[in-house]
Amino acid sequence: MIGSFTFENLPCRVVFGSGTLASAKAEVERLGGKRALVLTTPQQEAQSKSLGAALGSVYAGLFSGATMHTPVEVTERALAAMKACEADCVVSLGGGSTTGLGKALALRTGVNQLCIPTTYAGSEMTPIVGQTENGLKTTVRDAAVLPETVIYDVELTLTLPASLAATSGINAIAHAAEALYARDANPVTSLMAEEGIRALARALPAIAARSDDREARTEALYGAWLCGVCLGTVGMALHHKLCHTLGGTFDLPHAETHTIVLPHALAYNAPAVPDAMARISRAIGAADASQGLYDLAKRLGAKLALRDIGMPESGIGKAADLAVTNPYWNPRPLERAAIRDLIARAWAGERPAAIKAVT
Ligand code: NAD
């Protein structure tokens, strides 16, 4: 049954396909840009050279210092680079870290952003930026940081190693899974969520089997876009809060943390949201959402235990404490003992707790 809901479409133009990098110059000009500063990481300088060539006369310069967690010192260096080349817009090419730098610059200067994502993190579809200052990560939600235009080019994702594609893809699935039970869930976002999960669950094993499978890479990027829209459109809950806390407190890698925690967070919430779980199960083709996602991560060869990505056992209690302080909305009330149990399972790499049948 469809109840009442509010749905707000975020104003962002999307160009999707293979070889779409070639439209970068036209897209910059469409935004009124004349001098574009390209942002990327040192690892992706080669790709950004192709972007420079595609930008032609609107290419103003390159800043390849983007790094994880958007430290303000890096943003300040990028601001100086913008000034030095008199840039009037930025083009970010890379994963969530590079997109974050573009957003941080837009927040400070109001410049237009053309974003060219090369992972499945989904940041390009959200008006949210996380920034780090003196070791503290804070999050800002501001319409000014939403990129004006996004170019998805499948070709650029072919170099994303299969292991990163796996965890980044499950990171995307996490956005859609929580969107299905969000407090402000709505039928349109839920359609995108289910379709995004379906596309990724089908594509990721194919990429793991053959990393240059273009059809699978296309389907994965399409799914990632849909999941990114979910993240930008509705509120997240326990899973995202846990990953934010674990990542920030123990300096754990973003996508891998999401991959490990997701089955456990869903197992915790499952009794409260059987309809959402049924939709996730259907999308991944499994009898149970959390068990199915655990099996998917295992099949993709992803790490399954927080202890294997650097979390100390002594941190389990602290993480549980942090997860229940500053309460936030979640479909199932936050119970410290049960949350501690789920973190302990995720730490050890155990299967998610079996769900009691909901009557
Ligand atoms: P990332 O951007 O840190 O990229 C990981 C590494 O992969 C980098 O070295 C990068 O250069 C490399 N890489 C990326 N694409 C590649 C490709 N196609 N080929 C070869 N190498 C490639 O990782 P991520 O998981 O995309 O982003 C994580 C960050 O994004 C976190 O800081 C997270 O908080 C943030 N994020 C923010 C939002 C938001 O809405 N604000 C959403 C999701 C993620």
Look at residue 358 in the predicted model and tell me its pLDDT.
43
Phi and psi at 236, nearest 5°, equal: -100, 175
Query: Was domain 162-348 assigned CATH 3.30.70.20?
Result: no
Is the sign of the CA dihedral 270, 224, 228, 1 positive or negative? negative
d(CA 342, CA 359): 23
Residue 177 near residue 262 (C-beta atoms within 8 A): yes
Number of Cα atoms under 13 Å in the Cβ half of residue 81? 23
Within the chain, which residue ranges are assigned CATH 1.20.1090.10? 162-348
pLDDT digits (tens, 9 = 90+) for 143-161: 999 999 999 999 999 999 9
The class that CATH gives domain 13-157 is alpha beta
pLDDT digits (tens, 9 = 90+) for 174-186: 999 999 999 999 9
| 357 pLDDT above the threshold of 60 | no
**Distant-in-sequence, close-in-space partners of 237: CB < 8 Å, separation ≥ 6:** 178, 181, 182, 183, 269, 328, 329, 330, 331
Q: Whose CA is nearest to atom 21 of ligand 1?
A: 160
Residue 254 CA to ligand 1 center (angstroms) comes to 8
Within the chain, which residue ranges are assigned CATH 3.40.50.1970? 13-157
Ligand 1 atom with the smallest distance to the CA of 44 is: 11
Question: Of the residues 51, 119, 152, which should be mutated to test ligand 1's pocket, given the most ligand atoms within 8 Å of the CB?
Answer: 119
C-beta 236 within 6 A of ligand 1: no
Tokens of 81: 């680079």
Size (the chain), residues: 359
Look at residue 291 in the predicted model and tell me its pLDDT.
98
C-beta 119 within 6 A of ligand 1: yes
C-beta 101 within 6 A of ligand 1: no
| 233 pLDDT above the threshold of 70 | yes
Ligand 1 atom with the smallest distance to the CA of 43 is: 11
C-beta 130 within 6 A of ligand 1: yes
The pTM assigned to this predicted structure is 0.96
pLDDT digits (tens, 9 = 90+) for 28-86: 999 999 999 999 999 999 999 899 999 999 999 999 999 988 999 999 999 999 999 99
Residue 60 near residue 128 (C-beta atoms within 8 A): no
C-beta 47 within 6 A of ligand 1: no
Look at residue 339 in the predicted model and tell me its pLDDT.
95
In the predicted model, what is the mean pLDDT of the chain?
Answer: 95
pLDDT digits (tens, 9 = 90+) for 83-128: 999 999 999 999 999 999 999 999 999 999 999 999 999 999 999 9
Q: Whose CA is nearest to atom 36 of ligand 1?
A: 96
Residue 271 CA to ligand 1 center (angstroms) comes to 32
d(CA 21, CA 6): 35
Look at residue 135 in the predicted model and tell me its pLDDT.
72
Phi and psi at 128, nearest 5°, equal: -120, 140
Q: Across the chain, where does the E strand assignment appear?
A: 13-17, 36-39, 59-63, 89-94, 112-117, 128-133, 136-141, 149-153
| 314 pLDDT above the threshold of 50 | yes
Look at residue 138 in the predicted model and tell me its pLDDT.
86
